[in-house]
């Protein structure tokens, strides 16, 4: 992989500068690269979708291990550089200049994909939503995100970081914290540390719900006012718009204390609440 000095030389040679608006920071630590590759567990039968390959810190290793790699990069200048660095060396590598959120996975998914990517903060949640929307095409994802975001994705009930994003990710996947990545592992160095996560995409959600739309409306509505009791959070017009008397009966049917705070409820609790609400004709 490229060193800091080599990246500086590329910047000069191509009159190139990383785009802050795209959160471009390039990995320069080979130990971290090896941990990402190992976590992805790519085999010779796999098709890999690499999100934001940048200057190719992971691309060559992925192309060496996989049957094929589709690398989607938004920065056109980075695509030009990566094509010169690695494009001709690996015939199984396809580099695409485009926005991953607009990329149609049906065009490449002959089999389920292994996804690898270093996700800037501003696009982390949209990319995760994109992967879950397209989960019929995705086997697993190894992503690098800001550490504070990683803690939110894996948070458990009763903790400060637990919220609607935690529930969303744990509903669709089995997340695993792999490793903390110090900011000094990148050039230019970002302001915060990152973390490597592995998301095993579930064929079926982790809990059974009668209505997925209602389930996520309940979850989001609960955490929008997380300091209130669950009955006060959900009875609002913007959420369920139901009387507290009727909601209390639904909560009782689900075995949930109306005075409980949302952050104490597990994914199973929210599923029970949703199903009880469906039975109550909400």
Q: Which of 218, 268, 225 is nearest to 247 (CA)?
A: 218
Phi and psi angles of residue 3, each rounded to the nearest 5 degrees, phi first: -90, 170
Closest CA to 117 of 174, 62, 43: 62
The tens place of each residue's pLDDT in the chain, 282 residues long, gives: 889 999 999 999 999 988 777 778 999 999 999 999 999 999 999 999 999 999 999 999 999 999 999 999 999 999 999 999 887 899 999 999 999 999 999 888 678 999 999 998 999 999 999 999 999 999 999 999 999 999 999 999 999 999 999 999 999 999 999 999 999 999 999 999 999 999 999 999 999 999 999 999 999 999 998 889 999 999 888 788 889 999 999 999 999 999 999 999 999 999 999 999 998 766
Q: What's the CA gap between 107 and 122, in Å, rounded?
A: 26
Give the residue from 255, 141, 147 showing the smallest Cα distance to 198.
141
Q: Residue 111: its pLDDT value, please?
A: 84
CB atoms within 10 A of CB 153: 24
Helix, coil or strand: residue 9: helix
- Residue among 109, 110, 114, 78 at smallest CA distance from 96: 78
How many CA atoms, within 13 angstroms, populate the side-chain half-sphere of residue 124?
23
DSSP string, 15-84: T----GGGT--EE--HHHHHHHHHHHT--TT-EEEEE--TTTTTHHHHHHHSSEEEEEES-HHHHHHHII
Contact by Cβ (8 Å): 164, 185: no
Q: What's the pLDDT at 282?
A: 62
Report the distance separating Cα 26 and Cα 166, nearest Å: 27
Alpha-helical segments (H) within the chain: 4-13, 30-40, 59-65, 76-82, 124-133, 147-154, 164-172, 212-224, 230-234, 244-254, 267-279
Rounded CA separation 6/1 (Å) = 9
């Amino acid at each position: 992989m490229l060193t800091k000095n080599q990246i500086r030389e590329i910047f000069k040679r191509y009159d190139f500068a990383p785009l802050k608006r795209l959160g471009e920071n390039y990995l320069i630590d080979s130990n971290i690269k090896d941990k990402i590759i190992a976590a992805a567990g790519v085999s010779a039968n796999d098709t890999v979708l690499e999100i934001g390959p940048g200057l190719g810190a992971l691309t060559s290793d992925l192309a060496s291990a996989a049957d094929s790699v589709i690398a989607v990069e938004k920065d056109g200048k980075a695509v030009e550089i990566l094509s010169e660095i690695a494009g001709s060396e690996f015939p199984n590598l396809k580099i695409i200049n485009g926005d991953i959120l607009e990329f149609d996975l049906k065009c490449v998914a002959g089999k389920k994909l292994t996804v690898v990517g270093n996700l800037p903060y501003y696009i982390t949640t949209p990319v995760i939503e994109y992967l879950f929307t397209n989960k019929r095409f995705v086997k697993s994802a190894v992503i690098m995100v800001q550490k504070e975001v990683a803690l939110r994705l894996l948070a458990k009930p009763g903790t400060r970081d637990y919220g609607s994003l935690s529930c969303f990710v744990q509903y669709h996947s089995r997340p695993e914290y792999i490793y903390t990545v110090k900011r000094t592992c990148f050039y230019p160095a970002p302001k915060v540390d990152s973390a490597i996560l592995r998301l095993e995409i579930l064929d079926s959600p982790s809990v059974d719900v009668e209505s997925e739309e209602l389930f996520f409306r309940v979850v989001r509505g609960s955490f929008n006012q997380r300091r209130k009791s669950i009955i006060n959070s959900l009875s609002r017009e913007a959420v369920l718009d139901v009387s507290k008397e009727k909601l209390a009966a639904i909560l009782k049917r689900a075995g949930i204390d109306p005075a409980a705070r949302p952050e104490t409820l597990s994914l199973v609790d929210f599923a029970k609440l949703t199903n009880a609400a469906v039975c109550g004709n909400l």
